[in-house]
Chains A and B, each alone.
Chain A
Amino acid sequence: MTRPLMVLSFALGVGVASAQSNILQLPLINDPIMNPLIAPELGSILVNKVIFPGLVRPNEDLQPVPDLARSWTITNGGLVYTFTLRDDVRWHDGKPFTADDVVFTFNTARDPKSGSRLASDFSSIKSVEARGRNTVRFVLSRPFAPFLILLGHNAGILPKHLLEGKDLNSATAFNRQTPIGTGPFKVSRVVPGASVTLVANRDYYGGAPKLDGITFKVVPDLNTQVAQLRSGGLDWVTLEPSNLPSVQGAQNVTIKQADAVQHYLVFFNQKNPLFTSATVRRAMQYAVNRRAIIDGILKGYADYPTGTIPTALRTYYDKSIKPVTYDPAQARKLLLQAGWRPNAQGILVNARGEPFKFTLIVDKGNATREQAALAVQQDLKRVGMDVTLQTLEFATLVRDYLIPGKYDANLIWWTTPPDPDQYSFYATGQDNNEAAWSNARADALLRRGRETVDPAARKNIYNAYQRLTMQDPPVLVLYYPKELQAISRRLTGVPDLGIRDALRHTERFDLR
């Protein structure tokens, strides 16, 4: 069968497609929205990182270093940030980049009515103004320590001369076909549903990129992505641990792992009386064999958790805190203290004879999460809880269950900027605190943490917060995953970062 196909293939006048020499090929799941303020999903965010630089970008320690800004000063106790911009930057259409572009971008970004998805990231901005052509001054309404990190995260700068006065979501030509940024690569061609082709920007302010171009190919199926990686049609694929066997042994591919600023967790709805007691939530930490989940399901590509601050935040993570290890006997003991004793069938019941019974939900279709949820259910059953597992489509899970708080327990994950600020996730009454956890001391620590600019003082605050969450766990943190990257051996110059942050440095990438 192969021979006739080969003959046919040559008869069609084209040989085996050899990978274009110096063009990096990356996968996308669907067509990107090339506008950093409204990009809704990872694929769009990745493309935007290449096209739209920010004022700063993260270095290999995830700390902000200059990008479009040359330097900055922080004055008035962390309330005023003054940036000096580079004066050698041009937009991809040749127009000069100025302070007005920065002012336009942040005035739009902090206005939720503009359709911006970064509104809450920049809600601390009281005013932003241009002071001359190359100076921008931000005045914050309160000291906000993550500000610089957030500037280097998703906040690419947009061209005022093309977007001013337009509804961001309706600027289809810009968002879908002809985005104009200042980055090392510019969009040259978009084929809907198929690819976005970028060519090197020879006028890039950081020097000419080494690659000739980058092609983002729309390949929705992960198995097909892996097949294309192996056949040379793609150069970089991020994987789930279950995909590992399909790339192991491939000559042209190397596997790398990067720290991901993520924590995978189980929310317990604390409006449900079952979970209000901290003792019960502590018991869960002992009851679930997280080591088995990490070794078995994640093939070891994850760190064992101690609280909600992931190990990837090296500066702030407190290594000295002792993790809670699997100990079902200890779990039963704590549950007994909280008033739950096993009945004749081994099910935990309270003084009124009511069983410890709840439903754990997880999203459908991701093998890692489905298996982890199953492991959690089985472990909790082992200590006498009557747990039902329910899988739901992700959009349904979030919109109909998680957001309205109509759930008992939910396996999910948080991807955060590389900053320890978790105020919106775990402070009382915050939008993203869907577990309804409330701890006055944690509230105070989280508030102080985001307002303290001095790194050493901040570290102490978050270490105290981390210790506190071991005693009163807001959620059951399961693991801090690693990002698994399968990369073509030809690709060099990639910094040791997750793909999100690595793509802020594409001018250094090269293909041998």
Chain B
Amino acid sequence: MLSPGFVARRVLHALVVLAVVAVVTFFIVRLAPGGPSLLADPALRDAERAAIEARLGLGDPLPVQFLKFVGNAVRGDFGQSFLFGTPTLQVIASRLGNTLILAGAALTLTLLVAVPLGTICGLRPHSWLDRLISVVSVVVLAVPVFWLGLMLIIALAVLRPVLPAGGMYTTGMEGNVPDLLRHLLLPAVVLASASIAELLRYTRSSVRSAARLDHVRTARAKGLPQRAVNLRHVLKNALIPVVTVIGLQLPRLVGGAAVTETIFAWPGMGRLSVEAALGRDYPLILGVTLVVALAVVLFNLLVDLLYPLIDPRIRTEA
């Protein structure tokens, strides 16, 4: 179905994106003011500071540091994290799975809530349900993630302690799935909230425009039952822009994860990226950025591959 040329182009494209991300990130983080938090202790004496700088390899001029980085990176070595003292990729690997669980749950929740509700609103614009959902989704979009998170913690973990206030497992119960689900519920809802509101509004408007297309009107005029019109003609047409928006949710999930994971003490990549940035852990910042960039590129590729399945016109073009 896909030509090898198309796939090769996409892979090349992905590699170029990753290389650009790496170069830009490398220079931006190193030219940013400040430095590794290991050195930010004002009580360090000069000799101690010099020893730490030498160990972290910060004495070399920037271009030399960059060449060393590239040399190591092509061999798959992204260096030792300053903060953890272990290879960067190992640190990321220990957190990646946790974020995938959270982001996966949030994305599932988003799809399960936003697409059906958005479709209903789009098919019945200006009904009371549509109005109610519009108001709620605007409010949710406007509310900061950390505020929503803290309110839910106060309501459901402090005042009415039905769910844990944070963490991924009760200590000592690591690996217990019901315990994980209990811990997952609040952060997944918080992380999904903004995505739900956004995707819902897209779905609604997409369904509305699809419902007004000529061939939909024709189908209806032919006497096709409304349900069949909606399923076969409206939804199928409405899905394309919706799939695009779903593709755009990934960076948002990762970005939102930084805040959500911090509030809910979730040991994932989002919080790791915050720790790396605050600690000016150069290798870890680069590692996290590249992994996230790779995920975004792959996700977009997946979305591109989905288009032809949904819309035959794209299939012929591809």
Contact = CB atoms under 8 A, between A and B. Distances in A.
Partners in one complex: yes
Interface of A: 2, 5-6, 8-9, 12-14, 16-17, 20, 23, 25, 30-31, 33, 40-41, 112-113, 115-117, 119-120, 169-170, 172, 175-176, 191-195, 197, 215, 217-221, 223-224, 227-228, 230-233, 392-396, 398-400, 402-403, 412, 414-415, 424, 431-432, 434
Contact of A169 (B47, B85, B178, B278): B85
B33 interface: yes
Given A192-B95, A224-B264, A224-B265, A399 B40 contact: yes
Contacts of A393: 33-34
Contact of B171 (A8, A31, A215, A398): A215
B271 A197 contact: no
Contacts of B160: 2, 6
B170 interface: yes
B280 A395 contact: yes
B138 to A, nearest CB: 20
Interface stretch (B161-169, B228-236, B301-309): B161-169
B185 interface: yes
B163 A5 contact: yes
A219 B41 contact: no
Nearest to B181: A12
Contacts of B182: 9, 12, 14
Interface string B73-94: 0000000000111100001001
A431 B50 CA distance: 12
25 contacts: A2-B162, A6-B160, A9-B162, A12-B178, A14-B178, A14-B182, A17-B164, A30-B275, A40-B37, A115-B51, A120-B48, A172-B86, A194-B174, A194-B267, A195-B167, A218-B265, A220-B274, A223-B150, A227-B154, A228-B165, A392-B33, A395-B35, A395-B36, A402-B42, A414-B43
Nearest to B87: A172
B32 to A, nearest CB: 8
B227 interface: no
Contact of B44 (A117, A176, A221): A117
Contact of A233 (B85, B165, B263): B165
B34 A231 contact: no
Contacts of A195: 167, 171
Contacts, number: 183
A233 B166 contact: yes
A126 to B, nearest CB: 17
Contact of A394 (B40, B86, B158, B178): B40
Contact of A431 (B45, B91, B265): B45
B241 to A, nearest CB: 32
A431 B272 CA distance: 33
Given A120-B48, A220-B271, A412-B42, 7 more contacts: A2-B160, A41-B37, A117-B44, A119-B45, A218-B265, A220-B275, A227-B158
Nearest to A35: B85
Contact of A432 (B43, B164, B278): B43
Contacts of B172: 20, 197
B85 A172 contact: yes
A217 B166 CA distance: 10
B103 to A, nearest CB: 16
Contacts of A232: 161
A231 B158 contact: yes
Nearest to A413: B42
Contacts of A17: 164, 170
B30 to A, nearest CB: 13
B156 interface: yes
A164 B162 CA distance: 50
B141 interface: no
Contacts of A5: 156, 162-163, 185
B43 to A, nearest CB: 6
A182 B168 CA distance: 30
B85 A170 contact: yes
Interface in B142-163: 150, 153-158, 160-163
A509 B264 CA distance: 28
B38 A432 contact: no
Nearest to A113: B51
A424 B46 CA distance: 11
